[in-house]
Homo-oligomer: A and B are copies of this chain.
Amino acid sequence: MAMAVRYELLSIDRDTGARRGRLHTPHGTIETPVFMPVGTQATVKAMSPEELKEIGAEIILSNTYHLFLRPGHDLVREAGGLHSFMNWDRSILTDSGGFQVFSLSTLRKISEEGVEFRSHISGEKLFLSPEKAIEVENALGADIIMAFDECPPYPASRDYLKDSLERTTRWAKRCKEAHRRPHDQALFGIVQGGMERDLREQSAMELLELDFPGYAVGGLSVGESKPLMQEVLSFTVPLLPKDKPRYLMGVGSPDDLFEGVQRGIDMFDCVLPTRIARNGTCMTSVGKVVIRNAVYARDWEKLDPDCDCYTCRNYSRAYIRHLIKADEIFGLRLTSYHNLYFLVELMRKIRLAIEQNRLLEFKKEFYSQYGYEKII
């Protein structure tokens, strides 16, 4: 059977092994490495689909847990799937709901069968299992869907991590068996195992046997230090197949993007750019701009002197500050637009740097210009 997605490796950065590639999906081709904006509830907060295209987004992520709760996957299926429901004709990836069940819901009870939990909206008792998660993801109809896994807390004991990863493997098998649309939805496996090298090896080995069309590294960015995350990536990514895409879940600060790409990651997602935008925090080429600050009250320059996005072409910092201070929706639109543009542009530059075998050089330039710690 034809695979839903195909990964094409274009080149590898000489110094780091970073990959420049292309991911072909039923809804178009994605240049990788790629940053995926998050549209939790079938909308990337404050943005229109047309604006996402303008920015250059080729794929967005949506959250199975949220859509399962509201409006419900049956309704989205009736709409003709998520693409049609939200008027987005490019690629979509859905997570499995596993992460949110553990982070958002209350009173969860894990068993071999699945997870019982209470909706964080209605308080209703609900159940997600590998089969149920895949049923929901099949109904949503994203190009890439994620296996239902357990994302263990950090820190966790080795015993817990080992039990958990083994259950995640068994669940991955059940996901694969339950999957009804392998021809047009690619099911990715998620490697777990906490910060333990041998457990990551065990998880990867077990999941590779299931021959998924792509693999994610899960269980990172959960509270561990940045050096530790980088170390885990360094020994986990080489365990993954070279001919398939690799996705680092929930990561999207500029420094984490560099570190992930360097270690061979192709895909990233994070709510960071839109979440901080709604708080008035902007990522710019001159570092972090907290636009509420009084210093910007009469600043007639553009938000980011090096940026050509809609926001920066048309509005002053003073105006954006006024809008954010006055709780105006258009302010959130302008900051969200800019932050997403910033990250999508950063990834474009990173792809170019890989093609030119100068990723480390570009990283150095970026850090010296932007100031590593000043960006987020």
Contacts and interface: CB of A to CB of B under 8 A. Distances in A.
Contacts of A297: 71, 75
A333 interface: yes
Interface string A309-347: 000001110110111011011111100000000000000
A70 B322 contact: yes
Interface stretch (A78-86, A99-107, A133-141, A225-233): A78-86
Given A45-B328, A329-B45, A333-B329, A319 B79 contact: yes
Given A319-B79, A329-B329, A87 B314 contact: yes
Nearest to A278: B329
A86 B322 CA distance: 10
Nearest to A336: B329
A329 to B, nearest CB: 4
A298 interface: yes
Interface in A346-372: none
Contact of A325 (B45, B70, B321): B70
A207 to B, nearest CB: 33
A160 interface: no
A242 to B, nearest CB: 39
A14 B21 CA distance: 70
Contact of A71 (B47, B300, B322, B331): B322
A307 interface: no
- In the complex, which of the residues A43, A318, A325, A333 has the most CB atoms of chain B within 10 Å of its own CB atom? A43
Given A71-B322, A86-B319, A46 B329 contact: yes
A326 B75 contact: no
Contact of A79 (B71, B318, B323, B330): B318
A161 to B, nearest CB: 35
Nearest to A327: B41
B42 A322 contact: yes
A48 interface: yes
Contact of A78 (B298, B325, B326): B298
Contacts of A87: 314-315, 319
A210 to B, nearest CB: 34
Given A48-B333, A319-B86, A326 B79 contact: no
Given A42-B322, A43-B328, 8 more contacts: A41-B323, A42-B319, A47-B330, A71-B318, A79-B318, A85-B322, A86-B319, A87-B319
Which 5 A-B residue pairings sit nearest by Cβ, starting from the closest?
A46-B329, A71-B322, A43-B330, A41-B326, A87-B314
16 contacts: A41-B328, A43-B328, A45-B328, A45-B330, A48-B333, A70-B326, A71-B321, A71-B325, A75-B297, A75-B298, A78-B300, A79-B318, A85-B316, A85-B318, A87-B314, A329-B332
